[in-house]
């Protein structure tokens, strides 16, 4: 059995913690070190109490590159690029970055959305993991975009759990602000729109649609619900057939014939899509866990593709449905 020696840079945050949780139970991965400048010297369970008893790993501020097959970058947005300018890895070390820094496919990175780029990811040495909202929106609309149905205004509403804001406290993540509350932020200007438009342009070179995205903060911890819609003259059955065909080889994206709810995907790497035809609009619901399919789970899925493993390895997770 192949052993993939792995390091995690910036392992103290939510995405780092989720990666450790997944990789400790991945049959092909051996975590060599977990990095954090702020938490160096602390045992794993002190920073991530949910992992008590699972490992004797200790946080370090050292980056050891010898014998390393894979490194995950879980640094804050804007810090991965300068980190790679001051740290070098071997030519055979695969790099998977979870920040926004390389999602424009600069510096040799491949955009890591498996449902669209699996063939390229399998050959990639550098993979830029998609954003959480970007994942849900792209999987909601990708089949329609490829069919050429979306050269118009696309209306998208999304609501995300509080963990999407990261572990560092801010005024909008405190319990007193988030609980029993809802708010909109970055109206029509969310940073994930860049990568969304990039993918849509690759799926349909004639794509000229405008994505009007309304991001919402939800009063729950995990999950993303996306609702997208646009005028559509075809039938619901036609749309469902196109979506089923597009995702027929997808390991984790499923088209549901029945109504869906967010808890179906919480704690899993799944995306579940449901379609409706109402008032002349094709309406698509898309649900994901922002920390898994929207971040760390998708990063492990990309690991599996890059190293020739079954995509589901280490990702057969049970949803928190009740």
Mean pLDDT split into 10-residue runs, the chain, 322 residues: 94 96 98 97 97 97 97 96 97 97 98 98 98 97 98 96 74 74 88 96 95 95 96 98 98 98 97 98 98 98 98 96 83
Q: Which of 44, 242, 233, 230 is nearest to 152 (CA)?
A: 230
pTM given for the model: 0.95
According to DSSP, the residues that pair with 180 across neighbouring strands are none
132 is catalytic: yes
* Structure confidence at residue 170 (pLDDT): 73
Residue 250: the pLDDT is 98
Gap between the Cα atoms of 247 and 244, Å rounded: 5
E-only strand ranges, 161-305: 183-184, 210-217, 224-231, 253-256, 271-278, 281-288
Q: Which of 74, 132, 150, 271 is catalytic?
A: 132
Which pLDDT does position 176 carry in this prediction? 67
Query: Residue 104: which residues within 8 A CB-CB, separation 6 or more?
Result: 194, 195, 198
């Amino acid at each position: 059995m192949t052993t993939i020696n792995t390091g995690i840079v910036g392992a103290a945050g939510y995405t780092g913690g989720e990666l450790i949780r997944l990789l400790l139970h991945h049959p092909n991965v051996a975590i060599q070190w977990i990095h954090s400048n702020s938490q160096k010297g602390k045992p794993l369970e002190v920073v991530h109490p949910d992992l008590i008893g699972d490992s004797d790993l200790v946080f370090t501020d050292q980056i050891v590159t010898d014998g390393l097959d894979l490194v995950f970058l879980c640094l804050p947005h804007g810090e991965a690029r300068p980190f790679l300018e001051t740290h070098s890895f071997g030519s055979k070390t695969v790099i998977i970055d979870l920040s926004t820094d390389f999602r424009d496919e600069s510096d040799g990175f491949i955009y890591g959305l498996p449902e669209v780029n699996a063939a390229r990811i399998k050959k990639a040495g550098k993979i830029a993991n998609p954003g959480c909202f970007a994942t849900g929106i792209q999987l909601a609309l990708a089949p329609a975009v490829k069919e050429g149905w979306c050269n118009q205004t696309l209306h998208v509403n999304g609501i995300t759990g509080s963990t999407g804001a990261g572990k560092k406290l801010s005024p909008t993540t405190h319990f007193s602000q988030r609980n029993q509350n809802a708010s909109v932020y970055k109206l029509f200007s969310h940073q994930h729109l860049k990568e969304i438009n990039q993918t849509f342009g690759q799926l349909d070179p004639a794509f000229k649609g405008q994505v009007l995205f309304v991001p919402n903060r939800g009063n729950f911890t995990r999950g993303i619900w996306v609702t997208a819609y646009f005028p559509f003259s075809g039938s619901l059955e036609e749309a469902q057939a196109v979506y089923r065909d597009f995702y027929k080889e997808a390991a984790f994206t499923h088209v549901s014939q029945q109504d869906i709810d967010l808890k179906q995907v919480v704690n899993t790497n799944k995306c579940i899509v449901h379609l409706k035809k109402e008032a002349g609009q094709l309406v698509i619901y898309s649900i994901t866990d922002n920390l898994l399919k929207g971040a760390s789970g998708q990063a492990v899925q990309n690991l599996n593709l890059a190293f020739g493993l079954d995509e589901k390895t280490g990702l057969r997770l049970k949803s928190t449905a009740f």
